[in-house]
């Protein structure tokens, strides 16, 4: 437990990314989508394959990969400072 408390800055980018997805993208985009004044015809025809699902926690997502690299970098820097002091 003490070790996790010492390297908590390494988890900060991942926590910020998760909060960004939950708060900004999901809540705000759903409010915007609810205001549609038109009917999506593909739902009635049955062609749902044309719509892409966003994969937030995929290695194909550039922002997620940058977040992982940032957290690994901060963890390494934190461990180096802990070893020196």
Across the range 43-57, mean pLDDT stands at 61
Q: What is the pLDDT of residue 57?
A: 75
Q: What is the pLDDT of residue 9?
A: 83
Q: Please report, for the chain, the start and end positions of each structural domain, with discontinuous segments joined by +.
A: 7-29+58-85
Residues in the chain: 85
- Confidence check: pLDDT of 12 > 80: yes
Among 14, 15, 11, 6, CA closest to 81? 6
Across the range 10-39, mean pLDDT stands at 74
- Confidence check: pLDDT of 43 > 80: no
Contact 85, 17 (CB under 8 A): no
């Amino acid at each position: 437990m003490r070790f996790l408390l010492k390297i908590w800055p390494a988890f900060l980018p991942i926590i910020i990314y998760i909060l960004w997805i939950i708060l900004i993208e999901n809540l705000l985009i759903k409010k915007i989508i609810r205001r549609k004044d038109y009917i999506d015809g593909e739902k009635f025809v049955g062609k749902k394959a044309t719509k892409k699902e966003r994969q937030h926690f995929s290695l194909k997502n550039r922002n997620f990969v940058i977040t992982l690299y940032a957290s690994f970098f901060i963890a390494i820097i934190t461990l180096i400072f802990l070893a020196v002091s």
